[in-house]
Structure 1
């Protein structure tokens, strides 16, 4: 399965835009992540090339994360036009420069039983994992976007859950928690999906939308794991 690409501006050592990084999470049929690929363009090279290794390094290198800024495709297109005087290639073209995933897909790590919440056909549990530091402004923005009551103090490293959210989409029910992981070294959204019908399209739409909202607050998505 495919989804819309993620775009980042890459800055040089003095903070000036140097290029673009474009990424895609490869998804299994249940919307969990099975790989990450990426492509990059820089002013110095003047061409698009495979940047999957850079995408993977971005998840573990704070210095590199400090040099990237999440942007929309529109923002990336504007910068690309300014830097090289051309239109940003279509996403199908950008994908042609992506390399193959470094690790072969593995089945989901289901740590819980498959029993559904009473009244629903199926219950799934996902964790969207993010690297980086969440700012007070970012927490406020997410709280407003999700109408999430902030139940924990961001400044207190002992607080694990910062806020819960509940939503209904038709007959399906969704709930998620914004959670500090590994003493703040990472952040996660634990998303529970209670499904009634045979179609799970709303799951993919929700996971993608949540990822995008958190990404625009400066955190870098790492993976989407399914535990149930």
Structure 2
């Protein structure tokens, strides 16, 4: 689950749902504010948050430990377990899905069964120090000095880079996956880990798309 502080006095808890090929298909959430008697569903609010500059400016990604501390300090008591929080999600916001856009060039190289290209879109603007920290964590710097990296999970290979997209109005994490076998389970785990890396540096994930 992902946790956010809103204006310092409210907590938003979210979780994305993913399809079999690891693209985003839904967003569930619950929100609590100081003085509230309980949690309320916030899936639709999460969609609005990502498109509203004023709301977006109030949101700060945090870890569960900090959210629990804030919850306790503002009189909420002990932060519910994630299983309990899911019970407050209410109706999930659904994402339209489509076949991959097939924008990638070329088939999988010899020795690999499939090549996939993903993009995770993010909202908000990172600080230079956060980008530098991400470059250190990923041990790589790509075009324009942007964070990048390479890695292996099982027999699968991954390359990725963070960059501005959409004429500079958003950020995208582009991940190329070379699958050696038929299972893509490890690809999903790597995508979630890389998304968390970026989120911990201040950006807010919006959706995961597959291009090829």
Above 0.5 in TM-score? yes
> What CA distance in whole angstroms lies between the structure 1 residues aligned with 2:90 and 2:98?
21
After TM superposition, the structure 1 = structure 2 runs for residues 1-228 of structure 1, keeping only pairs within 5 Å, are: 5-11=1-7, 17-103=8-94, 105-112=96-103, 115-152=107-144, 162-228=146-212
Query: SS of the counterpart of 1:75?
Result: helix
> What CA distance in whole angstroms lies between the structure 2 residues aligned with 1:126 and 1:74?
30
> What CA distance in whole angstroms lies between the structure 1 residues aligned with 2:49 and 2:95?
20
Q: Is the 8 A contact 1:172 1:193 kept in 2?
A: yes
| Structure 1 residue runs without a partner (length 5+) | 12-16, 154-161
Offset of residue 82 of structure 1: 1.6
> What CA distance in whole angstroms lies between the structure 2 residues aligned with 1:135 and 1:194?
31
Offset of residue 182 of structure 1: 2.2
> What CA distance in whole angstroms lies between the structure 1 residues aligned with 2:153 and 2:180?
11
Give the match for residue 159 of structure 1. none
> What CA distance in whole angstroms lies between the structure 2 residues aligned with 1:89 and 1:225?
31
- Per-residue deviation, residues 57-86 of structure 1 (Å, max 9, x unmatched): 111112111111111111111111222252
Deviation larger for 198-207 or 173-182: 198-207
> What CA distance in whole angstroms lies between the structure 2 residues aligned with 1:227 and 1:151?
20
Offset of residue 105 of structure 1: 4.7
| Equivalent residues, number | 211
Q: Cα–Cα, structure 1 residues 86 and 39, in superposed 2: closer, same or farther, change >3 Å?
A: same
Q: Is the 8 A contact 2:5 2:60 kept in 1?
A: yes
How large is the RMSD of aligned CA atoms in angstroms? 1.9
What is the TM-score with the length of structure 1 in the denominator? 0.85
| Structure 2 residue runs without a partner (length 5+) | none
What is the TM-score with the length of structure 2 in the denominator? 0.91
Query: SS of the counterpart of 2:171?
Result: strand
Offset of residue 152 of structure 1: 1.0
Query: SS of the counterpart of 1:60?
Result: coil
Offset of residue 112 of structure 1: 4.0
